Amino acid sequence: MATKVVMEALSPTMEEGRLVAWLKQEGDAVSAGETLAEVETDKAVMELVARSDGVLRKQLLPEGATVPVGTLVGVIGAADEDISALVGPSATASAAAAGAAPASRQPPAMPTPAHVGRIFASPLARRLAAERGLDLGAVTGTGPSGRVVKRDVEAAQLAMASAKAAERLPQATAGAVRAVRPREPAGVASAAATPAASAVAAPAVPLAPPGGYRDVPLTQIRKTIAKRLVQSLGPIPHFFLTTEIDMERAADARTHLKSLGDAYAVSFNDLVVKACALALRRHPAVNAAFLDDRVRYHGDVHIGMAVAVEDGLITPVVRHADRKGLAEIAAESKALAEKARARRLTPEEYTGSTFSVSNLGMYDIDEFTAVINPPEAAILAVGRVAEKPVVVNGAVVPRRMMRVTLSCDHRVVDGATGAKFLRTLKLMLENPLAMLL
Amino acid sequence: MPEPGTRTVSTPPTAPGTDAATMRRLLRDMLLLRRFEEKCGEAYALGKIGGFCHLYIGQEAVAVGAMAALRPDDTVMASYRDHGQALARGMTARAVMAELFGKAAGCSGGKGGSMHLFDASLNFLGGHGIVGGHIPLATGAAFAIKYRGGDQVSLVFFGEAAVNNGAFHESLNMAAVWKLPCIYICENNRYGMGTAIERASALYDVAQRACSYDIPAEVVDGMDVLAVRDAVHRAALRGRERKTATLLEVRTYRFMGHSMSDPIHGHYRTRDEVEEQKTRDPIRAFAAKLRADGLLDDEAWQAMEAEVADEVEDAHRFADEAPDPDPSALTTDVYREP
Amino acid sequence: MPLVTYRDALNQALREEMRRDPAVFLMGEEVGVYQGAYKVSRGLLEEFGPERVVDTPITELGFAGIGVGAAMAGLRPVVEFMTWNFALLAIDQIVNSAAKMLYMSGGQVPIPIVFRGPAGAALQLAAQHSQSFDSYFANIPGLKVVTPATPADAKGLLKSAIRDNNPVVFIEGEMLYNTKGEVPDGEHVVPIGVADVKREGTDVTLVAHSKMVGLALKAAEELAKDGVSAEVVDPRTIRPLDVATIAASVRKTNRCVVIEEGWPVAGIGAQVVDDIQREAFDWLDAPVLRVTAADVPMPYNKHLEKLAKPDVPRIVAAVNRVLYRA
C-alpha cells in the first residue's frame, strides 16, 4: 500500500520548507524512521524521515524547491505497485508549482481585527513585497482599511536593510565600532569566548557590478528574521535603559577561573547570562510576556542568547539558567552556539526563552539597543568590556567597564521596574560573589 | 403621364430596344429572379439561409425593367429586399446564393447576408437594412456624380412605407434644391410589412408627394416590364441632361409574405386578394405578350425554363459546397488601412 | 512658431486639404455664406466655391447620409454638425451606414468621411446643448474617434482624419475655439491613434482629453506647489486608444486619475480604467479614480452648471486620495 511523503511541519512555526537534499534516491529501499531528505525550516536544517517501509518510488520535489507544509513531495511503495493514483497530474503539479515560494503566507501581523485572515494590499505593494521577499502580513498597512501600500513596503524594507547593515559589521576589526543609532535590531553575538570575526564564517556577499546591483533571494532564515523584527519593532513600545557596569571584579574572577583549567573557563557572556537569570528571579516583573489581553509572568527563567549564524541570527535557549552553575551555562552555551551555526538546533532548543541577551562586545561595540523578541518583555544588549578612566573615591583610575542597555516593553515593564532590574544586574556583575548567594 | 407644373418632356432620342433578343432577355431575367427566389424559399426552409430573407416574387418586372434602362456606370442601391435588384444588375446567381448561404465566395464575403448584397464593380452599392436609411446614401451618390460633372444617374429602390420616413423627405428635398440626378423608385406593393398603405400614409398616391419638392413624378404599372423600363429611361434622361430628380411610384405586388417569417396572406391581406393579384403575374403576362407578338414559342419557352432551372440549380450547388469564411475574416474589413 | 487659435488651426487644415485633394468638400449648416456657425470655415466658400462648400438645410440625418453616399461614390466629404448634440439625429447614418459599410460589403466599399463639430458644455447652454457623446461613437467598431485639445493637435489630426479612408468622428469644443497655441509651420500632420504626454511627472498620471487637458494642466500646477509631480497624458484619439502610452505612464507613477467632461456611466473614462487595470495591475498602488461630469442633465443656472462640471479642486482631491494624503 503506497504512502505519501509530505512536507512535514518540523518546527512549531514552520509553514514552508526548502528541500535541501535528497538522501534517498528513487528506487532505494527505505524503512520507517530512516532519513529521506534534509529540509531547511524557518529555523534550522531538519531531517525528513520515512514513515513507512518500502521503496522510494518517486521524488516529487527537486532539490532546492520550497513548498508549503503538507505538500506531497514523494511516494513510498512496493517496487511494482501502481502509484498513479497518488502521482496524478494534480499531485505533481502542486509540487512543481511550489518552486517560487510565496513570501506572504503568514497570517497578518497587526491590523484591524475585522480583516483577520485577509491582507489588504495594493497590487504594487504585493508585487514589491514578493520581489523583495517581505512577508505582507508582517507589514503595517497605512492605507484605507489597513491596506498595505508602496510606502509601507518600503518602510518595512528599510527596517530590514538596517538589520542587514548590522550584519555587515563583523568585518570591521579596527577601532571601536559605535552603533549609536537607536532601534538597532538584535545584533550578532557569539556565546563562545573566542573573539568574533574569525570565528564566524562571513556570509558570502555577492559582488555587485559598478553602477548596478545584484539581488540575492532571501533564505528561510532571513525571511523569518525580517518577519520577526518587523513584528517586534513595529507594535511594541520600546524604551531603553542604559547603565555602565564596573567589571573589574568580574574580569579578575574570570581570569582567576581560567587559570584553574579549561573546565573552569567562562566567558563574560556566561557571567551576564547568570547574572540576568538571578536578577530575573529578584524582579519577576521583568520575567514576563505580553499576550494581547494579559501579561504572563513566567515561573521559570530561560535565557535566550543571540547567536550569529551564516546568514543571520538565531537565539538558542539556556533553560533554567537561574538554577545552573556557571560551568554548566558555559558548556551549554558553547554547545548551543555550535549547533546553531551548524543549523542543527531542535525546536526545543530555540524556543521558550523568557528573556534574551544579545552581546556585540566581541565586535568592539560600546553599546547598542536591541529589539525585543516578542512576546518577551525585555532584552539586554551587552557592549564590550573596555578599560576606561573612571572616578573612584575621588581619583581617576582605569577600570574595565561594560555598558548594557535594557530594552523594555512599556506595556509590561515601566521605567522604575526596568531600572531596578538593571541595578540588581549591575550589583551582581560588580560583585560576582553575590551570585553565589 | 404628364408632369406636374409647366414642365414638359420630349420623347427620348434613343428609345430602349424592342427587338426579339432584347424582349426574350427581359423575360429570361424575370424568370431567373422568380426561380431564384423560389429556390431561396426552399433553402431557407431547410436552414441553409439564416436570419432575414425578403423575397421579391411578384415584383420582378420592376427590377428587370429598371436595370434595362440604365448604364453600367450608373449607381444602384436597394433596400433589404434586394435579391432581385442584385441579379438584375448583373450579379451572378452563384455570388448571390453563396452570400445568402454565408459563404466566403458570396458577393460580400459571407459577412453581409441577404440584406447586404454588394458588388462595387457593377456599381451595385447594397443592400441596406434600415427602412429609408439608404435613400440619403443614393442621394449622396447623385451628389458625387454632379460634383464630378458626370452624366450618370443614381437609382434607389425602396418600398412605399419608406416615404413617410424623415430620411425620404430630407433626401428628396435636398435632391431638388441642389438639382441632383437621382431616380427614386418607390416599389409600392401596398404593404409595409403588415401595414397597408392606407393605414400608414395620409396620402395614398405616393407620386403626389413629389409636389413637396417640385420634382417630376410618375405612377407606373409595376407588373409591366416595358412600362417600368420606359419610365426609368425617361427619368434617366432627365437626370443626365438636366440634373433633375424623379420620383417613380411603381405599383406592384408581392406574392409572398414580407419575409420568410411572414405568412403569405397573414392577418393583413386576404387569400382572395393574393390570388387575384397573381392573375397579373408579370412573367406570365409578358410571356403571353411575346407569344402574341410571335417572339416566343413553346420550344423557346421550355428551353428558357430549362436554362434558368440549370442556372439556379448550379448556383445552389455552388453555394452549398462553398466553404465558410476563415475565422480570421471576423476581424478584417473593419477599417480600411492604406 | 506662430500662435494660432484652435479655430484657425482647423480652418488651415480644411483649406490645405481641400487644396491638396479635389475630392474633399465641406458640407453642413451655415458653413458657406454664414462663414461657419463658429467661423471654422471662414473664407472657404470664397476660395472653393459653393460646389465644395455646401450649405445644407437643417436636416442632419439627410445630409449626413448624403455625405456617406458621396463617400461611397469615392468623394471625401467633411460633414459639419453645428454641435454634436444634433448629431443624434444623424446617428443612424453614422453608425448603420458609415461604420458598417466596409464590413457588410466584404471590404468593397470604404467610407472616407469626417464628421466634425463641437461637443460638450459651453456656458449656460442647458440640457440639450451641452452634451458629450464621445463614448457613444467610441463604442462602434468601424469608426475612429478623435478629440484634439490644442490648436496644433486640431490641425494635425483634422488633416489625418481627412486623409484617413475610414469614417472619423472628430470632436472639437466651443470653449476651445478661441484658445491659442503654437502650431508648426508647413505640413503638420498628427497621426491618429497616438497619445501625447502634455506634461511629464512622476507621482501620478492624469489622463484627460479635449477640454479636460487644460484643466488637468492647471491641476498639475496646483499640485506642483504642494510637491506633487503630475504627468498629464492626452490620448488625443479615443478610438483607437493608445493604451501603451497610458499604461507606460501608470507604470512609472503607480497611480492614476482619469478626467473626462462626459457623464460617468459607461463613459470614456470607464474604458481607460479597464485598460489600465489590465495592462498595469501590478504597478497600481491605489485604485484608478475618475473625475467626470455630475450624473445629471446640464442645468442652466451658472452656479449649478459649475457644480456639474469637473474642476481643479476635484482633480486635486482625487489625486490626494490616490496618494493617500489627508
Count chain A–chain C contacts defined by CB atoms under 8 A. 27
- Predicted complex ipTM: 0.89
Distance CA A187, CA C271 (A): 53
Task: List, for residues C51-63, the tens digit of each pLDDT value.
Answer: 999 999 999 999 9
Return d(Cα B44, Cα C106) in angstroms, integer.
Answer: 22
Percent of chain B with pLDDT over 90: 78
Give the chains touching C; criterion: ≥3 Cβ pairs < 8 Å: A, B
Enumerate the CATH 2.40.50.100 domain ranges in chain A, comma separated.
3-168
Contact C254 A150 (CB under 8 A): yes
Please answer yes or no on whether A149 and C285 come within 8 Å at the CB atom.
yes
CA distances from A67 to A13, A97, B237 (A): 15, 9, 87
pLDDT value for B104: 96
Work out the average pLDDT over A428-435.
Answer: 91
Q: What distance in Å separates the CA atoms of residue B107 and residue B114, rounded to the nearest whole number?
A: 10
What is residue C272's three-state secondary structure?
helix
Cβ-defined contact of B118 to C104 (cutoff 8 Å): yes
- Domain(s) of CATH 3.30.559.10: residues in chain A: 213-436
Locate all alpha helices (DSSP H) within C59-129, ordered by sequence. Answer: 60-72, 91-92, 101-104
pLDDT for the residue numbered B202: 87
Name the phi and psi angles at A359, rounded to 5.
-125, 115
Least confident of A17-21, A105-109, A402-406, C117-121: A105-109
**From C60, C80, C261, C305, active-site residue:** C60
Three-class SS string for chain A?
CCEEEECCCCCCCCCEEEEEEECCCCCCEECCCCEEEEEECCCCEEEEECCCCEEEEEECCCCCCEEECCCEEEEEECCCCCCCCCCCHHHHHHHHHHHCCCCCCCCCCCCCHHHCCCCCECHHHHHHHHHHCCCHHHCCCCCHHHCECHHHHHHHHHHHHHHHHHHHHHHCCCCCECCCCCCCCCCCCCCCCCCHHHHCCCCCCCCCCCCCCCCCCCCHHHHHHHHHHHHHHCCCCEEEEEEEEECHHHHHHHHHHHCCCHHHCCCHHHHHHHHHHHHHHHCHHHCEEEECCEEEECCCCCEEECEEECCEEECCEECCCCCCCHHHHHHHHHHHHHHHHCCCCCHHHHCCCCEEEEECHHHCECCCCCCCCCCECEEEEEEEEEEEEEEECCEEEEEEEEEEEEEEECCCCCHHHHHHHHHHHHHHHHCHHHHHC
Does domain A213-436 match CATH 3.10.310.70?
Answer: no
Look at the alpha carbons of B144, B147, B148, B150 in this order and tell me if their dihedral is positive or negative. positive
Inter-chain CB proximity A127 and C254 less than 8 Å: no
User: pTM here?
Assistant: 0.64
Q: Do C283 and A124 touch (CB under 8 A)?
A: yes
> Is the Cβ of C326 closer than 8 Å to some Cβ of chain A?
no
Q: What CATH number is given for C196-322 in this structure?
A: 3.40.50.920
Instruction: Tell me the C-alpha distance between B144 and B152, whole Å.
Output: 10
Q: How far apart are CA A239 and CA A340, in angstroms?
A: 29
Query: Cα(A402)–Cα(A385) distance, rounded to whole angstroms?
Result: 5
Residues A246 and A388: their CA atoms lie apart, in Å, by 10
Q: Which residue of chain A has the CA closest to C288?
A: A122
* Nearest CA among B113, B106, B87 for reference residue B260: B113
Which ranges in chain C are annotated with CATH 3.40.50.970?
Answer: 3-182
B111 to C54: CB separation less than 8 angstroms, yes or no: no
Q: Which helix (H) or strand (E) holds C180?
A: strand C180-182
Counting beta carbons within 10 angstroms of the beta carbon of residue B315, is it exposed (0 to 12), middle (13 to 18) or buried (19 or more)? buried
Candidates C129, C188, C222, C279; catalytic one: C129
Least confident of A208-222, A287-301, A387-401, B268-282: A208-222
Q: Which residues contact B218 (CB under 8 A, 6 or more apart)?
A: B1, B207, B231, B234, B235, B246, B247, B248, B249
Handedness of CA A172, A175, A176, A181 (dihedral sign): negative
> Which residue has better confidence, B199 or A28?
A28
In three-state form (DSSP H/G/I as H, E/B as E, the rest C), the secondary structure along A160-225 is: HHHHHHHHHHHHCCCCCECCCCCCCCCCCCCCCCCCHHHHCCCCCCCCCCCCCCCCCCCCHHHHHH
Concatenated DSSP letters of C73-89: TT-EEEEEPSSGGGGGG
- The b/e string for A164-180 (b: 16+ C-beta within 10 A; e otherwise) is eebbebbeeeeeebebe
B178 touches chain C (CB under 8 A): yes
Q: Give B68's Cβ-side CA count (13 Å radius).
A: 27
The whole-chain average pLDDT of chain C stands at 96
Nearest Cα neighbor of B79 from B167, B144, B208 is B167
Q: Name the least confident of A271-280, A306-315, B66-75, B120-129.
A: A306-315
Confidence label for A210 from pLDDT (cuts 50, 70 and 90): low
SS3 B315: helix
Which of A123, A144, A149 minimises the CB distance to C281? A123
% of chain C surpassing 70 pLDDT? 100
The residues of A carrying an active-site annotation are: 410
Query: Distance between the two ends of chain B, CA-based, in angstroms?
Result: 50
Based on the residue annotation, tell me whether C129 is a catalytic residue of this protein.
yes
Q: Is the pLDDT of residue B120 over 80?
A: yes
Q: What is the torsional sign of CA B101, B107, B108, B113?
A: negative
Q: Domain A3-168: give its CATH architecture.
A: Beta Barrel (2.40)
Q: What are phi and psi of C293, to 5 degrees?
A: -65, 160
Average pLDDT over residues B129-157: 97
Whether the per-residue pLDDT at C49 is higher than 60: the answer is yes
| Distance in Å, alpha carbon of B161 to nearest chain C alpha carbon | 17
Q: What percent of chain B has pLDDT over 70?
A: 95
Element (H, E) at C26: strand C24-28
Q: At what angle do helices B60-68 and B20-45 cross, to 10 degrees?
A: 140
Cα B223 from Cα B63, distance rounded (Å):
11
Q: What average pLDDT does this structure show over B28-55?
A: 94
CA C238 to chain centre: 7
Measure Cα distances from A69 to A12, A19, A39, A72, A101 in Å: 11, 11, 11, 9, 12
- Other CB atoms within a 10 A radius of the CB of residue A112 amount to 11
Chain A positions with Cβ closer than 8 Å to C: 122-127, 142-144, 149-151
Q: Which residues of B, range 74-93, sit inside 8 Å of C by Cβ?
A: 75
- DSSP-derived letter for residue B2 is P
Distance separating alpha carbons of residues A264 and A253, to the nearest angstrom: 11
Confidence label for B106 from pLDDT (cuts 50, 70 and 90)? very high
List the CATH code of the domain at C3-182.
3.40.50.970
Residue type, C87: A
Can you read off the three cell numbers belonging to residue A39?
A: 529540509
Query: CB-based contacts of B262: which residues, under 8 Å, 6+ apart?
Result: B193, B194, B256
Q: What is the C-alpha separation between A305 and A362, in angstroms, rounded?
A: 14
Residue owning grid cell 516583573: A285
- Torsions phi, psi for A290 (to 5 deg): -95, 125
Residues C282, A123: C-beta atoms closer than 8 Å: yes
pLDDT of residue A204: 53
> Among all chains, which residue has been given the C-alpha cell 514523494?
A74
And the C-alpha cell for A306?
A: 543571540
Look at residue A429 in the predicted model and tell me its pLDDT: 94
Instruction: Provide, as residue numbers in chain C, all residues whose Cβ is less than 8 Å from the Cβ of B134.
Output: 65, 97
Please determine, for residue C290, whether its predicted confidence score (pLDDT) is greater than 70. Answer: yes
Most confident of A230-244, A360-374, B265-279: A360-374
* Count of Cβ atoms closer than 10 Å to residue A189 Cβ: 27
